[in-house]
Structure 1
Amino acid sequence: MFAVYAAEPNADAPLESLTVGERPEPTVPDGWVAVKVRAASLNGHDIWTLRGVGIKPDQFPMILGCDGAGTLADGTEVVIHSIIGDPDWSGDETLDPRRTLLTEKYQGTFADTVVVPARNAVPKPAGISSVHAAVMGTAWLTAYRMLFTKSGLKPGQTMLVQGASGGVSTALIQLGRAAGMRVWVTGRTEDKRAIAEKLGAHATFPSGERLPARVDAVFESVGEATWAHSMRALRPGGTIVVCGSTSGPNPGADLQRLFFLQLRVEGSTMGTRQELVDLLSFVEATGITPQIGLELPMERAAEGFHAMLDGNTAGKIVFTR
């Protein structure tokens, strides 16, 4: 079958191991289902896989792609939930120490067919297209959990999103606006801030600029480059929700501010199957149209990888079949 895969790990030049070609047809274990892929979205995790991070060398070649939407053999339209956990685990699967993502142990969605546990094929609402459903499983699910499970925000409160144009950031902007939050966003360029405003941000600011007032919660995926600004931006008792550290993982903690102002720092990773179900319902009910920065046929996947690696994103990058 057709697939986009990492032939081998390449830490220094990840795109050199990106291969577009043929892979064997997958087998379907008991309790699993085959999904014919219609659309799949690119994540930073796919770049890490190409680098060999979070995956053992003997797992290569590895078909890339955590997210996707497609159809089962009976025609049922589904969205892929990419967290595969221990079948004996109960409760929040993001806390399962034996959990894994597609592309870490199991082959991913950038192919004609992906095989997943039956519970990981979530019914797709009719009101969401396959292209838009394909972005939900990682970036949008991460944003949903950050906002609705971790932040404690209520409608009318002010949230700050650090970074204006990435997949998680654009999702946070659209979800926050639809949920009745006052949405502020920082961005490095006028173009990126314009994207945030188009998506519903009430105000945008250059990265690091002093804000007109302190906010109730900050949503962080940048790390070292923005952490000091995030800490200064919070009101006493406010919350920073962190899902990543693209600029570096070791920011100055500013512990005096943390304890004196009684700030709260919440880590957040991906989301549960039930949160994906709730996210899909919320997106359909509110009529949100997820921001797609680039849509390409899967055969041209290399162009999407280059755009992500170069930082030329204005929303999610989606590949179609």
Structure 2
Amino acid sequence: MKKIKTLCMAAALGAVVAGASLIPATSAYAATTINVSSTGTSLSSALSKAKAGDTIVIKGTVKSGAVNVPAGITITGNGTGKIDFSSTSGSSGRGLTIKTNGSTIRDLELYNAADNGIYVEGSSNKFIKLNVHNNKDAGLQFSNGASNNYLSFVYSHHNADAAGENADGFAIKLHSGPGNVLEDCTAEGNSDDGYDLYAAHGAVKFVRCKAIKNGECGGIKGDGNGFKVGGVDNKTSGVAAHLDPLKHTLIDCVADGNLKRGFDRNNQSGVVTMTRCIGKNNAGGNFYFPLNGTPSALGYKVTFGKAIIDSCTSSGGGSNNVTGVTFKGTNTGF
């Protein structure tokens, strides 16, 4: 491992007058590349040394315990690197935990974490071309203020927890913040839902994302919705259970062959807009957006904001419920 450092540069600031002193300028930091391999530097060691601007390159397959990612770094596998998190254990056994801002995780395979493969509470992070699988909770989870994160070509699949009720492909839930965007992502074969937005506190945008055959993994069964876009927030301490009306947006998304519903309101009281989305062969119906409901956590009847279905297609699967929908454009199969 080599670190390249620039020389410190000092300069006088301002005119020198009687009694004035020279003030040295701060040191410039040269970004460093740190290689991680099974026979060299460990991931935890690299992260303990990394500073904003540094790049950590995963060479081959490396094993790691749970690690925290500092702000402003890049972790890349260059398309071939893999992190095996089988050394993690218990409910604290997340693979990468990111409570900081401005990092990029890309071109990498991550698997076998005892909890989430990637857990995020930070903001303005990027996740690009990742293969996240076989973790014992959601492949990727964004919670507690996580906002303005960007995901592109992330494949989260075959994640399963013991009870089947937690391991989604993407869990953008439990007080996640606004501005999270997913493009060209796929959730497939997870024990619970493809995408779960339960108790989110910020709207999410999905573009060309897919949810395929979620709801069972290795005989473990959960809810099995493709895109679950709501949920009563009964997890805020000292605050009564309530709905947060959010305007989630789904464009050119596909829900195919999920064991329950393809696109599910799940008590979302905001206006959800689906444009050119396709629901097909979902056992519990392709689109489930009733106008009214009585969420068990609230105990009283609610009239929801009307969802917008614009130029969408429904084929095969169970019956749709679109009593709480405004249709636009040319729709097929409703």
TM-score interval (norm. to shorter): under 0.3
TM-score, with length taken from structure 2: 0.26
Name the one with the larger strand percent.
2
Q: Which has the higher contact order (CA 8 A, sep 6+)?
A: 1
Q: Which has the larger radius of gyration?
A: 2
TM-score, length of structure 1 as denominator length: 0.27
